[in-house]
Each structure stands twice: as C-alpha cells, then as structure tokens.
Structure 1
Amino acid sequence: MSHPLTYAVVERERRFLLRRLPDGVVRTSAITDRYLLGTRLRLREVVGDDGHVVRKLGHKVRLGEGPAEVACTSVYLDEAEWALLLRLPGHVLRKTRHHVERDGRAVAVDELEDGTLLAEIDDGDRPPAPAPGWLDVVRDVSAEEAWTGAALAARAAEEA
C-alpha cells in the first residue's frame, strides 16, 4: 500500500504582511477560496488575466507544528463536480493574487478585500532565504494561525 501522501506536493510557505505592492507584477488572478466546514478541504476558483477559469478541490495536511509546512493534493473539477461541491457549507475568502517576478525570485502577493497585502514565498526543498528587501515587509506572520487562508475566511464570515 502506498503512503497516504504519495501524490501530495509539500509546500514550505512563509507569509509576510506588506506595506505596498512591489514592482515586478507579471500577471494577476482573481481567486475565490471556499474552506469546507469541518474538513481540511478547500474549493478554489482561479480566474486569470485572460479570463481562463480553473476550479479545483484541495486537501492540505500539516506536516509539523504550525501552518508553515503542508502536504497539498489537488483535484481539478469539471462544471458538474464544481456545482455539486459548492453546495457544501464553507467560509469564503476572495483575493487578487499578484504574481511578482523580480531579481530571479518569484513571490505571490495576495491582496485581500480589505486591501491587506500578504506575500507568500514557497521555499520548496531549499533552506529559507531572507525575504527580499523589495518586499517592504511589515512583519513575518508565517507561524501565526490567524494569517492562514482558512482563518482569514472564518474571520470574514464572522464580520459579514
């Protein structure tokens, strides 16, 4: 029998609150995440600059303490699957993702509906490198549960 994480991709993300959006945005996408209540599942719809829509079901399993290292598995959905799963209860988070490429680094900067800027850097298998100076970091929130997507969606649901 294979290991339950055989098909997962490990993400080692660090997250930073930013003062401003950095130069070097190469594309943007509109993302709507629906975190299904009582699960580790997320429905994600991504609409690119070109109008192309991708819908997927994601499953995240934490590998250590805190939210920094997770194993992620995605399943791409057709219209019928999307419509069926969308009926499940969940908390929604909407954001604009700015894909920044600068000085050989790729960084995703999410702009939340309230204007908050949250940068994500996936270190992959490399040791964490210092955040690039051009990010204009307010603070590192990588270890703070409140800055995970699920927590942000739950907070948005409470405020609605």
Structure 2
Amino acid sequence: MVHPLKYAVVERERRFLVARIPDGDTTTREIDDRYVTGTRLRLREVREQDGTVVRKLSHKVRLSDDASEIACTNVYLDGAEWALLSALPGRSLHKRRHLVRRDGWVVAVDEHDDGTLVAEIDDHDEPSSEVPEWLEVLRDVTRDEHWTGARLAT
C-alpha cells in the first residue's frame, strides 16, 4: 500500500504578527486563496511582479495538534481546471506577500486587506526558536488557530 502522504512536503512554519514590513531585498506577489468548504483543499492563484500567474490546488494535512507542522501536496492547474474548481463553494482570502531577504534570513510577510501583517518563518527540517532581531514582532501566533489562512478567509 502506498503511504497517503508519499508526495507531500512537510511545512514547519512559525507565524508572527509584526509592526511593519522590514527593510531588505524584497519581492512582492499577490495571492488569492480559496478554501473549499468541507474539505482540506485550498485553491491558490499567485501573481508575480512580472505578470506570471501560477494556479494550484493544495491538500493540507495536520501532523500535530497545533498549526505549526503540516503536510502539503500541490497540483498545478491550467486555466480550464482553475475555472471549474474555483466555482466550488468556499471562503476567500486575498493578501500581498512580501518575501524579505536579509542577513541570511528569508521571511514572508503577508499584508492582508485590513493592513494586518503576518510574518512566516519556514524552519524546513530544523525546528528553531530564533527570530531575526530586525523583525518587529508584536506577538507569536504560530499555535493560534485564528491566524491560519483558513480561519482568516471570509
């Protein structure tokens, strides 16, 4: 039997409410997420600064009781598949993602439509408690369910 998470990538992310978008080498992209009602599925459309559009369907499975470790599998979609699947009932979330590179760190800061800034640090395979000193953290919300994308979607 094939393991159900065989093609998944494990994400270990920490999330923080921050006061501002930090200075640094920054790339910005627009992201529209749609969380399909009654499922663990998310449709994501990413618009890069150069006009490139990437659309994908994600399946997310929690690996622990908190929201810090998730197995994620992505399937990339063409326009017709996107149109069909985006018609499913769900809740949407728009954000502007700023990828900040500074002092060896890469921090994603999501700017939500209401101005809230949520920074994510991906720990990859090595869980850490380090936070760059230049990230003006207001509060650690890693384990706060209210600050997951699915909960922020309307």
The match for 2:49 is 49
Q: How does 1:120-159 map to 2 (within 5 A)?
A: 120-153=120-153, 157=154
C-alpha distance in 2 between matches for 1:99 and 1:9: 20
The gaps in structure 1 that reach 5 residues or longer are: none
- Indicate the percent of aligned positions where both proteins have the same amino acid: 65
Aligned amino acid, residue 106 of structure 1 = V
Deviation of 1:130 after TM superposition, in Å, equals 1.3
User: d(CA) in 2 for partners of 1:148 and 1:5?
Assistant: 21
Superposed CA RMSD: 0.7
Name 1:32's counterpart in structure 2. 32
What is the count of residue pairs matched by the alignment?
Answer: 154
Whether the 8 Å contact between 2:12 and 2:127 is mirrored in structure 1 is no
Map of 1:115 onto structure 2: 115
- 1:5 maps to 2:13: no
Work out the CA distance in 1 between the residues paired with 2:14 and 2:25. Answer: 19
2:84: which partner in 1? 84
Task: Give 1:121's aligned amino acid.
Answer: I
Deviations 1:35-86 (A, max 9, x none): 0000000000000000100000000000011111000000000011000001
Which segments of structure 1 move beyond 2 Å, counting only runs of 4 or more? Answer: none
Question: What does residue 64 of structure 1 align with?
Answer: 64
Return the alpha-carbon distance in structure 2 between the equivalents of residues 24 and 50 of structure 1: 20
The structure with the largest helix share of the pair is 1
Distance in 2, matches of 1:27 and 1:18, equals 18
1:95–1:112 Cα contact (<8 Å) kept: yes
TM-score, structure 1 length as denominator? Answer: 0.94
SS where residue 135 of structure 1 aligns?
coil
Instruction: Give the Cα–Cα distance (whole angstroms) in 2 for the partners of residues 87 and 17 of structure 1.
Output: 32
Query: Aligned AA for 1:100?
Result: V
